[in-house]
Amino acid sequence: MFPALLLALAPLATPDPTAPWELIEACPRLVVRGSERSRATAVVIGQKDGFAYLLTAHHVVADDPPAEVQFFTRRSYPNPARTLRGCELVLPFRQADFALLKVPTGDTPVPVLPLAAPPPRPRKVPFAAIAVGCSGGEPPTGTKETVAARRFGRREGGEQAFFWETEAAPVAGRSGGPLVVDGRVVGLCAAAKDGRGYYAHLDELLAGLKGVGYGWLWE
């Protein structure tokens, strides 16, 4: 059983000259509604008709969209370059712990990090990946990860789905951040347990979006 939240503490993020900036710029920090203004991570997977479409962990938004979506650039880091408001929760996918959001962008586009799609996706484990997230609510950073296994897991609410298992556990604030291979999203940070990380599997992301009419985000 996977816990619904990531609770481990993390050191403060610092600028990294070797960071994958093309990934970081497409992964905004979310300021979640609430008295403590907690923070998490999202990834922009598409843009259409003046809206950016983002994925994050469902347990982050809990049916209430974030108050702010903060984008960073190499030049602005560690401060946000742009903050967007008016975010909407389009669809929740509780089973695999992810959610689809959209936020108005106006006439200025935002960076996009596309989903991987069959057949160019990992099929054998282990494999190397990069995870992007906001450790401790700080600005996003990229970390090298090793994906050790594909697991069928049960979450605390009883929902079952496939997850990638990583050798290292993510920390608080990285929930909703992407797992990336060859510049494409293959998973989404969902949980940590017993020193391992769990990311919503690409198959769950693709099937969930296609099943509700949002297959255009990856097809």
Domain boundaries, the chain: 21-113, 127-208
- Identical topology for domains 21-113 and 127-208: yes
Using a pLDDT cut of 90, give the percent of the chain over it.
74
Superfamily of domain 21-113: Trypsin-like serine proteases (2.40.10.10)
Is the pTM here over 0.85, yes or no?
yes
Distance separating alpha carbons of residues 42 and 139, to the nearest angstrom: 12
Residue 50: pLDDT band by 50, 70, 90 thresholds? very high
**Residue 156 pLDDT:** 66
pLDDT for the residue 1: 45
The CATH number of 127-208 is 2.40.10.10
Q: pLDDT, tens digit, for every residue of 69-114?
A: 999 999 999 999 999 999 999 999 998 999 999 999 999 999 999 9
8 A C-beta contact, residue 89 and residue 65 = yes
Q: Where are the beta strands (DSSP E) in the chain?
A: 29-31, 39-41, 43-48, 51-56, 68-71, 82-84, 88-93, 98-104, 127-133, 141-154, 160-166, 178-181, 184-193, 196-201
**For residue 219, what pLDDT is reported?**
76
